[in-house]
Amino acid sequence: MHDTPTILVPIRILEGESIPEGVPELLANAHVVLLGYHVVPDQTATDQARTQFEDQAVRRLDDFTSMLEEAGATVDSKLVFTHDGQDTIDRTSEEHDCLAVLIPNATKPPETVLVAVRGIVGADRFVRVLSGLFASTDVGITLYHLAAADETDADVETLLDAVRTRLVEQGVDADSIATEVARGDEPLDLIAEAGSDYDAIVMGESDPSVTTLLFGMRAEQVAKQFLGPVLVIQHEPTEEAESETE
């Protein structure tokens, strides 16, 4: 059956970011890697910043950890003072083998989730996250596909049926899974618009670096328009990336 998915939640711990309302319930069945990080100016030593701000940061991180644990999640918290926030997020995600990264906007306790399915490649990671988070819940899952110009209706049906079948095999109630298909030239706008009727969006990254998505690219653009939490499913690590990590 389904396993507990590992989800990275990065928080700028000293810049007013927090765990928004509804996020603990969204991640209740996850193993959360809670990354509290603070970007230090290049001219300041990270050890110096840690000495000055560690106590304050630890208190905030402990509060956020408690919020997630009370909702049911298991939490591995990590505090980092860094010169490069993007590199820290990427490295932490790789070290902990995270399936997804959360852009943690506020929501209500989730009842419905929109899942932007691009193709069968990478679908295994979508299935692992969705089944792990929602198989034991009443959350409704809508598989949403933006069809390309050369995709036939039969192609789309085959794709969505395959993902649906794999979710059911992993314990998701078939009656809780719906499908929706759209066509258009503005995919980010269409996803955000469709997501307005849902409590969270799940989408894949379209760039090898998840940090590109978190710091100003596609997933964050969707999150800004949608205003709710966005779970970004990461690419499978390449052999080259795994070798570098080792």
Q: Is residue 90 assigned to a domain? A: yes
Q: What per-residue confidence (pLDDT) applies to 91?
A: 93
Within this chain, do residues 82 and 137 fall inside the same structural domain, yes or no?
no
Beta carbons of 13 and 40 less than 8 angstroms apart: no
For the segment 125-147, what is each residue's pLDDT rounded down to a tens digit? Answer: 999 999 999 999 999 999 999 88
Q: Look at residues 62, 86, 103 and tell me which one is the last residue of a structural domain.
A: 103
Within this chain, do residues 128 and 163 fall inside the same structural domain, yes or no?
yes
Within this chain, do residues 241 and 119 fall inside the same structural domain, yes or no?
yes
Q: Is residue 184 assigned to a domain? A: yes
The CATH number that applies at residue 219 is 3.40.50.620
Q: What per-residue confidence (pLDDT) applies to 142?
A: 96
Q: What per-residue confidence (pLDDT) applies to 212?
A: 42
Q: What per-residue confidence (pLDDT) applies to 238?
A: 53
For the segment 95-123, what is each residue's pLDDT rounded down to a tens digit? Answer: 999 999 998 888 888 999 999 887 766 68
Within this chain, do residues 137 and 236 fall inside the same structural domain, yes or no?
yes
Within this chain, do residues 92 and 144 fall inside the same structural domain, yes or no?
no
If you average pLDDT over residues 217-238, what whole number do you get?
72
Percent of the chain predicted with pLDDT > 90: 62
* SS3 of residue 95 by DSSP: helix
Within this chain, do residues 48 and 150 fall inside the same structural domain, yes or no?
no
Residue 81: DSSP 8-state? E
Evaluate if residue 60 carries a pLDDT over 70.
Answer: yes
Q: What per-residue confidence (pLDDT) applies to 64?
A: 97
Within this chain, do residues 122 and 200 fall inside the same structural domain, yes or no?
yes
Taking CA atoms, 69 is separated from 77, 129, 136, in Å, by 11, 19, 18
Within this chain, do residues 208 and 160 fall inside the same structural domain, yes or no?
yes
Within this chain, do residues 121 and 238 fall inside the same structural domain, yes or no?
yes
Q: What b/e readout covers 224-245, taking b as 16+ CB neighbours within 10 angstroms?
A: eebebbbbbbbbeeeeeeeeee
CB within 8 Å of 38: residues ≥ 6 apart: 12, 13, 14, 15, 49, 53, 57, 80, 81, 82
Strands (E), 110-183: 112-116, 140-146, 177-182
Q: What per-residue confidence (pLDDT) applies to 218?
A: 60
Q: What per-residue confidence (pLDDT) applies to 123?
A: 82
Count of the separate structural domains present in the chain: 2
Q: What per-residue confidence (pLDDT) applies to 239?
A: 52
Q: Look at residues 103, 121, 153 and tell me which one is the last residue of a structural domain.
A: 103
Q: What per-residue confidence (pLDDT) applies to 146?
A: 85
Within this chain, do residues 35 and 125 fall inside the same structural domain, yes or no?
no
For the segment 168-208, what is each residue's pLDDT rounded down to a tens digit? Answer: 999 999 999 999 998 887 777 788 888 889 999 998 865 44
Q: Is residue 1 assigned to a domain? A: no
Q: Is residue 48 assigned to a domain? A: yes
Q: Look at residues 70, 103, 136 and tell me which one is the last residue of a structural domain.
A: 103
Separation between Cα atoms, residue 159 and residue 163, nearest integer Å = 7
If you average pLDDT over residues 52-74, what whole number do you get?
97
Beta carbons of 129 and 216 less than 8 angstroms apart: no
Q: What per-residue confidence (pLDDT) applies to 191?
A: 83
Within this chain, do residues 226 and 189 fall inside the same structural domain, yes or no?
yes
pTM of the complete model: 0.87
Q: Is residue 81 assigned to a domain? A: yes
What is the domain range of residue 130?
112-245
Within this chain, do residues 67 and 160 fall inside the same structural domain, yes or no?
no
Q: What per-residue confidence (pLDDT) applies to 217?
A: 44
Evaluate if residue 8 carries a pLDDT over 50.
Answer: yes
Beta carbons of 19 and 67 less than 8 angstroms apart: yes
